[in-house]
Amino acid sequence: MNLNFEGHTVIVTGAAHGFGRAIAQAFAWDGAHVWACDTNAEGLGETARLAHHDGLSIQTRTVDVSDRAAVSAFVDEVVAETGRLDVLVNNAGGVLGQVGRPLEEISGGDWQAIFRVNVDGAFYFAQAAAPTMKRQGRGRIVNISSGAGLGVSLTGIQAYASAKAAQIGLTRQLAHELGQFGITVNNVAPGFVRSNPTTERQWESYGEAGQQKLLDGIAMKRLGSPQDIANAVMFFASDQAGWVTGQVLSVDGGK
C-alpha cells in the first residue's frame, strides 16, 4: 500500500516518546508537515532533535491537552501557519504515574486527572480541528485508546480502563456527526507495547513468570512495537480508508 502525505498538515499529541514519536516520524517520512506536542519538554526536545537529524518536517510545541485554551491556541497556530489541517492524531494519554489500587482508595482528583488527559484532550483537539476540516470538506481524526478500553486494564487502574472506553465512545459518536463533512474518525487500540518509561516499569514489575504469561496470551507470542501502532494510524489517515469510520482496530498481536 503506497501512502503519500506530501504537503499534508498533521497534528500528533503526546509525541515526546513511544507511539507519538513513531507516529510523528512516520507521517514526516511520508512527506507530511507534522506539528507534535506534549507536556514533556525534554522528550519533545529529543523528538525535535531526531527530526532535525533526519531532515524531517516536525515542529514541536509544549501543550497541555487538558487545557482547552492552550489546545485551541495550538490548533489556531498550525492552521494560520499552514492554511490547512488534514490529520489529527489524539495519542496523548496514559496513567500519569498512577498504579493499581483498591477502588476505595481512589481519590476524585486521581480519577479526574486520567479522564482529563485521555478523554478531555481528545475532545478539545477534535473540537478545535473540526472547523478547518469542515471547511476543507475532508479530514482524518485518529484516536489512540488501548486494549484496556475494550476489556480490562493490565494495571488494574479503574480510571484508565474507563477513560479509554469513553474515548472509544467519543470516536463512534464523532464519526456519525462529522461523516457528512468528509471527516472520518477512527480508533487504534494497542495491546501492551514496551514504548516508554511507564511501560518499561510495568514490564519489569511482572517478573520472568509474569512476562511469559503475558506473551503466552498473545496469539503471535511476541510484543509489538511503536511502529506497529504507527502503521495502523497511517492506514486510517490514508485515502485507502476513505470509507472507513467509527471503527476500532485492535493492534495487539491477537487476543
The answer to whether residue 208 is domain-embedded is no
**CATH number of the domain bearing residue 122:** 3.40.50.720
Whole-number Å distance between alpha carbons of 73 and 197:
29
Angle 192-185-149 from CA coordinates, rounded to 5°: 30
The answer to whether residue 204 is domain-embedded is no
Per-residue confidence in pLDDT tens, the chain, 255 aa: 568 899 999 999 999 999 999 999 999 999 999 999 999 999 999 999 999 999 999 999 999 999 999 999 999 999 999 999 999 999 999 998 888 899 999 999 999 999 999 999 999 999 999 999 999 999 999 999 999 999 998 889 999 999 999 999 999 999 999 999 999 999 999 999 998 888 898 899 999 999 999 999 999 999 999 999 999 999 999 999 999 999 999 999 998
Whole-number Å distance between alpha carbons of 185 and 88:
9
Q: In what order do the strands lie in the sheet with 87-90?
A: 58-62, 33-38, 9-13, 87-90, 139-144, 183-190, 248-251
- With b for 16 or more beta-carbon neighbours within 10 A and e for fewer, the 118-156 pattern comes to bbbbbbbbbebbbebbeeeeebbbbbbbbbbbbeebbbe
Clarify whether 160 is annotated catalytic: yes
Domain range spanning residue 142?
Answer: 9-197+226-242
pLDDT, position 2: 60
Whole-number Å distance between alpha carbons of 123 and 171:
9
Task: Report the run of H or E that residue 9 belongs to, with start and end.
Answer: strand 9-13
Cell of 227: 511502529
Q: Under a CB-based contact definition with an 8 Å cutoff, are residues 50 and 34 in contact?
A: no
The answer to whether residue 212 is domain-embedded is no
pTM of the model: 0.95
Phi, psi of 220 (to 5 degrees): -90, 0
pLDDT, position 33: 98
The answer to whether residue 166 is domain-embedded is yes
User: Among 160, 170, 175, 183, which one carries the catalytic annotation?
Assistant: 160
The answer to whether residue 238 is domain-embedded is yes
Domain count, the chain: 1
pLDDT, position 178: 98
The answer to whether residue 253 is domain-embedded is no
pLDDT, position 3: 81
